[in-house]
């Protein structure tokens, strides 16, 4: 799965680790950061750090400071100043405007409760890969006048991609290269339709993870996206957004997740010990690397 030396044309490969500063890093983050860093170094590429802090409610500067320290402690370093997404909201907003102007995105005034109510009683209503109910389309058919009136009244709204209309504008199948851990890669066909009319701009911020991620990967000239398999389903949608916004498509390397004793994914909200807690217990970075190598059965 490790990338070959040269992506062609003599260009250097570019990797990025993109944590969200909404909690302390744990072993799962350490694994992802280390794979990015090791592979970048192994192929003479660049390593970048991106702070994904568009979620104003959950992101905190103290977590950002902590993750910078934890990564240094782990021996992960980057080759340019970190890019902080909260400083680029105008760019995400402009991309959303482009999609809206082309009729591919529409304002949605529904709350989660509205959506749950609209789907209630409809047996086996489909869900997206994250487990959320697929949007039932309530606001898709609103007239321009109705939309304008609701916006003028100050009603909060988010922006959704009109999936069926959008896919109709795409001529050839969308593909990308996927390298799972341990395999030599394959061309995969994207299936963005599994997300339905997905949210691409949120009520509180003029962006979403999806739009910010594809724009930043492009701006940062990322050639290799190394992240956990829990984000693999999102990649089909990212591929579609890249096609719509004329952005480059990197190679994707979705890696295994670090699991806890019960076989569950480690998360910031679960009881997974943070890297700083391990450090406080007296562990050194070498101990963490050895533990991860053993758990994941790879040299680190």
Q: Which parts of this chain interact with ligand GLU (CB under 6 A)?
A: 18-20, 52, 213, 227, 231
Determine whether 199 is exposed, middle or buried from the number of CB atoms within 10 Å of its CB (0-12, 13-18, 19+). Answer: buried
172 contact partners, CB below 8 Å, separation of at least 6 = none
- Nearer to ligand GLU (CB atom), residue 65 or residue 164: 65
Which residues contact residue 170 at a Cβ distance below 8 angstroms, ignoring those fewer than 6 apart? 240, 243
> Nearest approach, Cβ of 121 to ligand GLU (angstroms)?
34
Question: Of 139 and 275, which CB lies nearer to ligand GLU in the complex structure?
Answer: 275
Cα distance between residue 235 and residue 195, in whole Å = 11
Minimum CB distance to ligand GLU smaller for 115 or for 243: 243
Nearer to ligand GLU, 20 or 274 (CB): 20
How near is the Cβ of 52 to ligand GLU at its closest, in Å?
4
Which CB sits closer to ligand GLU, 60 or 150?
Answer: 60
Give the nearest distance from C-beta 198 to ligand GLU in angstroms.
15
Q: Considering the complex, state which of residue 28 and residue 196 has its C-beta at the smaller distance from ligand GLU.
A: 28
Task: Give the nearest distance from C-beta 163 to ligand GLU in angstroms.
Answer: 21
Nearer to ligand GLU, 231 or 233 (CB): 231
In the complex, minimum distance from the CB of residue 231 to ligand GLU, in angstroms, rounded to a whole number: 5
- The full length of the chain comes to 300
What gap in Å lies between CA 219 and CA 18, rounded to an integer? Answer: 14
Tell me the CB-side half-sphere exposure of residue 81, using CA atoms within 13 A.
Answer: 3
Q: How far is the CB of 21 from ligand GLU (least distance, A)?
A: 9
Least CB distance to ligand GLU at residue 125 (A): 27
């Amino acid at each position: 799965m490790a990338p070959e030396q040269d992506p062609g044309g003599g260009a250097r490969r570019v990797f990025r680790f993109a944590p969200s500063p909404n909690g302390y890093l744990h072993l799962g983050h350490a694994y992802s950061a280390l794979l990015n860093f090791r592979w970048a170094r192994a192929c003479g590429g660049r390593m970048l750090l991106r702070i994904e802090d568009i979620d104003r409610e959950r992101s905190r500067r103290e977590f950002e400071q902590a993750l910078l320290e934890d990564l240094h402690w782990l021996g992960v370093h980057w080759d340019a100043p970190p890019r902080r997404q909260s400083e680029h909201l105008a760019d995400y907003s402009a991309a959303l405007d482009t999609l809206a102007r082309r009729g591919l995105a529409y304002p949605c005034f529904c709350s989660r409760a509205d959506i749950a109510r609209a789907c209630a009683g409809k047996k086996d209503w489909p869900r997206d890969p994250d487990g959320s109910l697929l949007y039932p389309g309530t606001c898709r058919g609103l007239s321009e006048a109705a939309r304008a009136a609701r916006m003028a009244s100050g009603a909060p709204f988010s922006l959704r991609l009109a999936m069926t209309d959008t896919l109709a504008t795409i001529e050839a199948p969308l593909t990308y290269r996927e390298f799972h851990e341990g395999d030599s890669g394959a061309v995969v066909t994207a299936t963005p339709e599994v997300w339905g009319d997905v949210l691409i701009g949120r009520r509180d911020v003029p962006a979403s993870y999806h739009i910010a991620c594809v724009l930043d990967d492009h701006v940062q000239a990322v050639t290799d996206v190394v992240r956990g398999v829990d984000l693999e389903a999102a990649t089909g949608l990212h591929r579609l957004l890249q096609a719509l916004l004329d952005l480059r498509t990197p190679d994707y390397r979705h890696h295994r997740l670090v699991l806890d004793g019960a076989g569950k994914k480690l998360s910031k909200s679960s009881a997974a010990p943070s890297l700083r807690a391990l450090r406080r217990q007296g562990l050194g970075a070498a101990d963490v690397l050895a533990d991860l190598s053993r758990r994941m059965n790879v040299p680190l």
